[in-house]
């Protein structure tokens, strides 16, 4: 399971929880409203996930969210506007 804080389009802090044990489920917790919501499912189930959220704090642009499976080479990027995931590359090495 991957868990990462990020900022949505209104610059509100949220926490993303994705996958785990082959799951495709992605949920988002709103710190502001103290509530959970579902995001689009991952394209495929992944295990031992790693997540990265890149934000531009100066312009207030929403975070770019990436989720990678540690057990294979899949890397997905989340599209806030479309509520969808895109496989970015199929072969990558990531060391965190």
pLDDT in tens, 57-67: 555 556 788 88
The dihedral over CA atoms of 17, 1, 64, 86, expressed in degrees to the nearest 10, equals -110
The helix/strand count (H/E) of the chain reads as 0, 8
94 within domain boundaries: no
96 within domain boundaries: no
pLDDT of residue 40 exceeding 60? yes
27 within domain boundaries: yes
Number of domains in the chain: 1
Interatomic CA distance for residues 83 and 22, integer angstroms: 20
Interatomic CA distance for residues 69 and 89, integer angstroms: 12
Domain that holds residue 36: 2-89
pTM for the whole structure: 0.76
Is the model more confident about 25 or about 20? 25
95 within domain boundaries: no
């Amino acid at each position: 399971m991957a868990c990462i804080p990020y900022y949505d389009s209104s610059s509100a802090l949220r926490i993303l929880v994705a996958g785990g044990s082959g799951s495709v489920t992605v949920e988002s917790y709103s710190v502001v409203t103290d509530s959970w919501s579902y995001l689009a499912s991952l394209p495929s189930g992944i295990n031992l996930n790693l997540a990265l959220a890149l934000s531009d704090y100066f312009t207030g642009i929403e975070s770019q969210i990436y989720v990678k499976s540690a057990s294979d080479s899949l890397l997905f990027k989340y599209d806030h506007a479309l509520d969808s995931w895109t496989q970015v590359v199929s072969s990558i090495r990531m060391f965190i």
